[in-house]
Structure 1
Amino acid sequence: MPHLTLHYTANLAGFDADAALAAINRVLADSGHFDEVSIKSRALRLDHYRIGTADAGRGFVHVQLKILPGRDAAVRAALSQAVLDALRTLLPASAGAAEFQLCVEVDEIVADVYRKHVLAPDPL
């Protein structure tokens, strides 16, 4: 835990999704709330999207962070802000879109139904 999904629109010029995931994973590991090896992140480029009613010229990066329950609202807000700050340092001043939005949400996974199993490498 946690699971992080980053969605970004194809019109974001110069966005490096791998660098974004690396920076966000570092932020989450440095927060002290997660074991580094438990952080799982992925990025998905969106070639088909709409923002409002405009035909073009808008874009976004949306991060969804899913964590197990037990952290209060202040901790969740701090994690959200830290992820947002990491994203802001990675984006050029002009993102290539007339209007560009960065969004971060932190959701709690229902612990009663979440399952995890780790497959360890075979010993030599």
Structure 2
Amino acid sequence: MPHFIMEYSANLDDDLDIPGLFEKLNETAISTGVFPIGGIRTRAVRCEHFRIGEGDPENTFVHLTAKVGAGREPEVLKAASDKVFETFTAYLKPVFDKCWMSIGFEMIELHPERNYRMNNIHKKLADKK
């Protein structure tokens, strides 16, 4: 983990470079030293139906959620959240400057007893070393 889930308004299709943004988000997550590389997932959900603010069809939104495993100190998660948000907003700034846009980000810590995973990517990465 983290699992990054980005929802965005469909009217941003021509303006968002999603692969480029995801590359930067993953690089940032890795650079924090907080998250194992094999646990990072990044995906986008295009929202065809949306209404923002007063309903102006030119309004746009991008919301990023990072789901992380439990057990890290709050200040560690805060520092990682700050770095991710900085990367996220810096990457989106050129679009933000030309569109009416709402940008959101939240980091959610998953419950330690009700979060199940199975992942062999960690082994693959360890075997490469």
User: TM-score, normalising length from structure 1?
Assistant: 0.83
Aligned to 2:127: none
Q: Distance in 2 between matches of 1:2 and 1:88?
A: 18
Q: Distance in 2 between matches of 1:2 and 1:65?
A: 6
Q: Could you tell which deviates more after superposition, 80-89 or 31-40?
A: 80-89
Give the helix-richer structure, 1 or 2. 2
Aligned position for 2:35: 34
Larger deviation: 102-111 or 11-20? Answer: 11-20
Number of residues paired by the alignment?
A: 120
What is residue 26 of structure 2 aligned with on the other side? 25
Residues 1:73 and 2:74 aligned together: yes
1:79 Cα deviation (Å)? 2.1
What amino acid maps onto 1:17 in structure 2?
I
The amino acid of 1:36's aligned partner reads I
Give aligned-pair identity as a percent. 28
**Deviation beyond 6 Å, 4+ runs, structure 1:** none
What are the residue-to-residue correspondences of 1:43-82 with 2, within 5 Å? 43-82=44-83
Corresponding residue SS for 1:82: helix
CA distance 1:107–1:37, shift in 2 (3 Å)? same
Deviations 1:19-74 (A, max 9, x none): 11111011011100111111111111112111123232211110100111222333
Structure 2 unaligned regions, length at least 5: 125-129
CA RMSD of aligned residues (A): 2.0
- The Cα shift of 1:16 comes to 0.9
CA drift at 1:92 = 5.0
3-state DSSP class of the match of 1:71? coil
Gaps of 5+ in 1: none
